[in-house]
């Protein structure tokens, strides 16, 4: 989200439209990111269910849910997804590897 | 037809509030503000006003309720004094930062300790950087008039700042004096109706008040507050002019008394200006060219007006009814810094008077004037009127 100058924001700190937090990219805090090994993944969707930031997308493939992308704009790198994965398909990798 | 009422200053202010008829008044009584709230509670219980009166358990709650009410879009007022203002002060800053046009008469009283309930300006000076507009009033008429003008100014779209109307504790608030009260309809029309841009009660356009601002936007919001103060400074002459049309009374940033040809000028706020005017008259009779400047608007500080009036004078004495320990007195330091840019600086003197309700006599005022007349002023020395050595 592009930050604005003092002339362009509502006065008094009023937030004049709802759900603006969506524009606030909390993923900037992350120091680790989850990498999914698609060979191991069984699409059980435990990671999607447990993600506290709704950063893991699920998509419907026919009638079955399938694991989608990790939305790095919101993923804070907490590692819950890797911890709950029953088949060890998710590895937390340091952000420094992706610079 | 305007009527003459002979009442206390507290009653005069309560009548201004009655005519403005705010939607909500939340207040906690504290000496010497109590009679304002008492009179107003009477108006509410008698059904004379439509106001919802919220009796709270402390001033902190009073200001909190007032902030909530103003954020919901209601025209809101309260009143306080001294330690009550101190207890409010956390929320006082928030009211200004949220840009809520609250009007609050402050019945000036010493801010302890040791405990004292009498008049000085230490309470108003404590919150001078809180972002509120501050008016200072000499008598009942001004307290009444400025309460009405405060509402008009606060709610200007490019201002939206809260306003304090200061009147001297006991001297103005409890003293009985005549003032001219305008017709209810005239005041009602002058202040108009209040249509806030944002309201918490507007479910069709939901908004959030008071979000976390941190380092992202806090700085920008404060810059906006500064702009609002500049706008208030620009809007004030228009408000004075409009008020003159309904009342015949002409106000300005500074009340100037016999300054046209004056070589020596005294600057003093509120009720003591009356005593000082009496002394100016006496000294004029003795052939001394003296005059008086009474600031009516303290924030936004009318720096330009001070520069215009004081440039080229021989001597200026500034009387403060509050101390700023370890620093120059509040009004004096502002006047002094204003004069940095003028072509011909007068010699200056700083005087502290009347703390904790200490009587300020014509002799004391004369003492300060005589220092100026004799060329015995020292810019760097703080002197005291009526202090026992």
Distance CA B345, CA B313 (A): 7
State the pLDDT at residue B233: 98
Domain count, chain B: 2
Same domain assignment for residues B190 and B309? no
- pLDDT higher for B142 or A99? B142
Residue A19: pLDDT over 90: no
Nearest to B208 among A3, A5, A14 (CB): A14
Q: Is the ipTM of this complex over 0.90?
A: no
Interface residue B384 vs chain A (CB under 8 A): no
- Number of helices (H), then strands (E), belonging to chain B: the values are 12, 15
Are B260 and B236 in a shared domain? no
Cβ(B255)–Cβ(B291) below 8 Å: no
Of the candidates B371, B292, B358, B295, the residue with the CA atom closest to the CA atom of residue B322: B358
Query: How far off is chain A from B159, nearest CA to CA, in Å?
Result: 10
Smallest Cβ distance to B160: which of A11, A15, A18? A11
CB B163 within 8 A of CB B143: no
Residue B284 and residue B241 share a domain:
no
Same domain, yes or no: B69 and B204: yes
Interchain contact, A13 vs B160, CB within 8 Å: no
Does position B136 have pLDDT exceeding 70, yes or no?
A: yes
In chain A, what percentage of residues exceed pLDDT 90?
Answer: 69
B243 at the A interface (CB within 8 A)?
Answer: no
What percent of chain B is predicted at pLDDT more than 90? Answer: 98
* Domain end (from B180, B213, B247): B247
Closest by CA to B306, choosing from B349, B274, B329, B337, is B337
Q: What is the pTM of this model?
A: 0.90
- Considering the domain architecture, whether residues B237 and B275 belong to the same structural domain is answered as no
Q: How confident is the model at residue A21 (pLDDT cuts 50, 70, 90)?
A: confident
State the residue range of the domain holding B58. Answer: 3-247
Is there a contact between B149 and B240 (Cβ–Cβ < 8 Å)? Answer: yes
Q: Is the dihedral of CA B100, B331, B276, B282 positive or negative?
A: negative
End-to-end distance of chain B based on CA atoms, in angstroms?
53
How close is the nearest chain A Cα to the Cα of B231, in Å?
A: 14
Q: Which residue stretches of B179-291 are H helix?
A: 184-191, 214-247, 272-285
Q: Looking at the structure, do residues B171 and B41 belong to the same domain, yes or no?
A: yes
Instruction: Burial-class residue A7 by CB neighbours within 10 Å (0-12, 13-18, 19+).
Output: exposed
Let me know whether B259 and B243 are in one domain.
no
pLDDT of residue A34: 96
- Let me know whether B13 and B95 are in one domain: yes
CB neighbours (10 Å) of residue B182? 23
Report which of B319, B293, B290 is spatially closest to residue B307, judged by C-alpha positions.
Answer: B293
Asked whether residue B153 falls in the same domain as residue B128, the answer is yes
pLDDT number for residue B114: 95
**Span B191-249, pLDDT tens digits:** 999 999 999 999 999 999 999 899 989 999 999 999 999 999 999 999 999 999 999 99
CA distances B289 to B4, B198, B315, B363, Å, are 35, 53, 11, 18
Residue ending a domain, among B186, B213, B247, is B247
The per-residue pLDDT for range B27-63, each reduced to its tens digit, is 999 999 999 999 999 999 999 999 999 999 999 999 9
Taking every pair of Cα atoms in chain B, the longest distance, rounded to a whole number of angstroms, is 70
Q: Which residues contact B133 (CB under 8 A, 6 or more apart)?
A: B150, B153, B154, B159, B161, B162, B163, B164, B229, B232, B297, B299, B300
Helix or strand or coil: residue A15?
strand
Mean pLDDT, range A28-48, rounded to an integer? 94
Calculate what percentage of chain B has a pLDDT beyond 70: 100
A73-A74-A79 Cα angle (round to 5): 120
- Name every chain B residue with its beta carbon within 8 A of the beta carbon of A26: none
- Boundary (domain end) residue, out of B247, B276, B295: B247
Task: Measure in Å the smallest separation between the Cα of A27 and chain B Cα atoms.
Answer: 16
The verdict on B292 and B184 lying in the same domain is no
Residue B70 above 90 pLDDT? yes
Whose tokens are 């503000």? That residue is B33
Q: Is the pLDDT of residue B76 over 70?
A: yes
pLDDT band at A24 (very low <50, low <70, confident <90, very high): confident
Q: Are residues B261 and B155 in the same domain?
A: no
Residues B273 and B204 in one domain: no
DSSP reduced 3-state for B134: strand
Interface A-B, measured as beta-carbon pairs within 8 A, has a size of 51
């Amino acid at each position: 989200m592009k930050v604005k100058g003092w002339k362009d924001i509502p006065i008094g700190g009023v937030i004049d439209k709802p759900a603006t937090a969506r524009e606030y990219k909390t993923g900037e805090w992350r120091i680790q990111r989850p990498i999914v090994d698609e060979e191991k993944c069984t699409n059980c969707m435990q990671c999607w269910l447990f993600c506290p930031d709704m950063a893991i997308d699920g998509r419907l493939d026919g009638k079955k849910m399938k694991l989608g992308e990790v939305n790095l704009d919101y993923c804070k790198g907490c590692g819950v997804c890797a911890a709950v994965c029953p088949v060890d398909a998710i590895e937390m990798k340091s952000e420094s590897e992706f610079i | 037809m305007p009527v003459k009422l002979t009442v206390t200053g507290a009653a005069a202010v309560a009548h201004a509030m009655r005519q403005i008829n705010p939607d909500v008044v939340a207040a906690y009584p504290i000496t010497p503000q109590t009679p304002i709230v008492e009179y107003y509670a009477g108006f509410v219980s008698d059904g004379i006003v439509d106001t919802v009166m919220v009796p709270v358990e402390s001033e902190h709650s009073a200001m909190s309720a007032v902030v909530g009410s103003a954020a919901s879009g209601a025209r809101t007022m309260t009143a306080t004094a001294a330690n009550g203002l101190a207890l409010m002060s956390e929320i006082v800053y928030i009211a200004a930062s949220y840009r809520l046009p609250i009007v609050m008469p402050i019945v000036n009283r010493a801010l302890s300790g040791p405990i004292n309930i009498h008049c000085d300006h230490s309470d108003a000076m404590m919150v001078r950087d809180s972002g509120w507009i501050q008016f200072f009033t000499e008598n009942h008429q001004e307290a009444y008039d400025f309460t009405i003008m405060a509402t008009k100014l606060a709610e200007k779209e490019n201002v939206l700042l809260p306003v304090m109307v200061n009147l001297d504790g006991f001297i103005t608030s409890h003293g009985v004096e005549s003032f001219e009260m305008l017709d209810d309809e005239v005041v009602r029309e002058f202040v108009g109706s209040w249509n806030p841009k944002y309201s918490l009660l507007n479910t069709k356009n939901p908004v959030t008040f008071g979000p976390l601002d941190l380092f992202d936007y806090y700085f920008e919001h404060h810059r906006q507050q500064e702009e609002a103060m500049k706008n208030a400074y620009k809007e004030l002459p228009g408000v004075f002019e409009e008020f003159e049309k309904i009342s015949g009374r002409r106000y300005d940033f500074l009340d100037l008394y016999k300054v046209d040809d004056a070589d020596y000028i005294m600057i003093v706020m509120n009720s003591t200006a009356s005593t000082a005017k009496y002394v100016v008259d006496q000294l004029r009779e003795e052939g001394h060219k003296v005059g008086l400047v009474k600031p009516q608007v303290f924030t936004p500080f009318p720096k330009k007006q001070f520069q215009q009036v004081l440039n080229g004078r021989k001597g200026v004495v500034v009387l403060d009814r509050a101390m700023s320990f370890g620093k120059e007195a509040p009004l004096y330091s502002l006047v002094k810094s204003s004069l940095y840019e003028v072509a011909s600086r007068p010699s200056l003197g700083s005087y502290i008077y009347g703390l904790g309700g200490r009587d300020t006599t014509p002799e004391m005022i004369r003492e300060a004037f005589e220092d100026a007349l004799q060329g015995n002023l020292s810019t760097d020395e703080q002197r005291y009127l009526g202090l026992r050595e």
